[in-house]
């Protein structure tokens, strides 16, 4: 499932937060959205996911809009847990989609094992560690086999081991055919995962390129300064 954003614009209280942004994202790969704080990364993800309304411009998916929305999932920086067990958290999106009980049970067991929580199905999700909660949030997003998953700084609060495990799950999801669009401040993580990069600055796209080209030869002075660790205002 591909998408095209044309002259996308978001205003709040008369102030431009994002845009105008024109962007095309293909059907496969891992797109890393980079940029300093306040660049508009989270707003862009919310626009693409349909939870932030455009003030101007147009977003077009290669599928009918309702079908496209049903084929997406979103993982927040701070995971939102239902006050239920691990198993019930994993089952919730499947129940909303009308999946049968036997299939739900099969997928819950499969994904609990995949995210390392196979022995914790009856544990209350709010009592999990931070890393476990974030892996559960990812498992809950992927259990429906979405075409696209949006992730907003999902590893910002994780330690090294949890980050490694989370990245492995993302790589497996990509190999299974899920399109990943993700924000991160971790340049190392972007280099490990990205197939292409969108660099935002001041609410606009400053540079976009295949990951190898972006990191080896950034096309703008601002992108180069960002990669060198300079402060951008």
List where CATH 3.40.50.300 sits in the chain.
3-80+146-227
- Phi first, then psi, for residue 109 (nearest 5°) are -65, -45
Where residue 66 falls among pLDDT bands split at 50, 70, 90?
confident
Exposure of 156 by Cβ count < 10 A (0-12 exposed, 13-18 middle, 19+ buried)?
middle
| pLDDT at 231 (0 to 100) | 81
**Of 63, 52, 62, 58, residue with least CA distance to 22:** 58
β-bridge pairing 72-75 and 196-201? unpaired
Q: Which of 74, 63, 70, 77 is nearest to 181 (CA)?
A: 74
User: Pick from 35, 70, 36: which is nearest to 50 by CA?
Assistant: 70
d(CA 201, CA 218): 14
In this prediction, residue 220 carries a pLDDT of 96
- Label residue 229 by pLDDT band (50, 70, 90): confident
The answer to whether 190 touches 158, Cβ cutoff 8 Å, is no
Closest CA to 148 of 8, 24, 25: 25
Per-residue model confidence (pLDDT) at position 69:
85
Average pLDDT, the chain: 93
Q: Are 193 and 32 in contact (CB under 8 A)?
A: yes
**What CATH homologous superfamily does 3-80+146-227 map to?**
P-loop containing nucleotide triphosphate hydrolases (3.40.50.300)
Give residue-wise pLDDT tens across range 177-225.
Answer: 999 999 999 999 999 999 999 999 999 999 999 999 999 999 999 999 9
Whether pLDDT at 1 is above 80: no
How far apart are the C-alpha atoms of 15 and 220, rounded to whole Å? 26
Residue 32's Cβ-count burial label (10 Å; 0-12, 13-18, 19+) is buried
- pLDDT at residue 68, rounded to an integer: 86
The CB density around residue 91, as the number of other CB atoms within 10 Å, is 23
To the question of pTM greater than 0.85 for the whole model, the response is yes
What count of other Cβ atoms lies within 10 Å of the Cβ of residue 83? 9
pLDDT digits (tens, 9 = 90+) for 137-151: 999 999 999 999 999
């Amino acid at each position: 499932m591909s998408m095209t954003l044309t002259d996308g614009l978001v205003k709040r209280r008369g102030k431009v937060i994002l845009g105008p942004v024109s962007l095309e994202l293909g059907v496969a790969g891992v797109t890393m959205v980079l940029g300093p704080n306040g660049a508009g990364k989270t707003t862009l993800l919310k626009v693409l996911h349909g939870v932030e309304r455009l003030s101007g411009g147009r977003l077009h998916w290669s599928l009918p809009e309702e079908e496209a929305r049903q084929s997406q999932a979103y993982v927040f920086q701070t995971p939102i847990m239902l006050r239920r067990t691990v198993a019930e958290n994993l089952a919730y999106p499947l129940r909303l989609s009308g999946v049968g009980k036997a299939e739900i049970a099969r997928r819950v067991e499969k994904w609990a094992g995949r995210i390392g929580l196979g022995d914790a199905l009856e544990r209350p999700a709010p009592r999990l560690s931070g890393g476990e909660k974030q892996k559960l949030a990812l498992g809950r997003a992927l259990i429906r086999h979405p075409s696209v998953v949006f992730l907003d700084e999902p590893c910002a609060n994780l330690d090294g081991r949890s980050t490694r495990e989370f990245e492995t799950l993302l790589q497996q999801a990509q190999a299974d055919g899920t399109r990943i669009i993700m924000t991160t401040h971790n340049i190392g993580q972007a280099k490990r995962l990205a197939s292409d990069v969108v660099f935002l600055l001041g609410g606009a796209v400053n540079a976009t390129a295949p990951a190898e080209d972006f990191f080896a030869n950034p096309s703008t002075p601002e992108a180069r300064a960002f990669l060198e660790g300079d402060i951008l205002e």
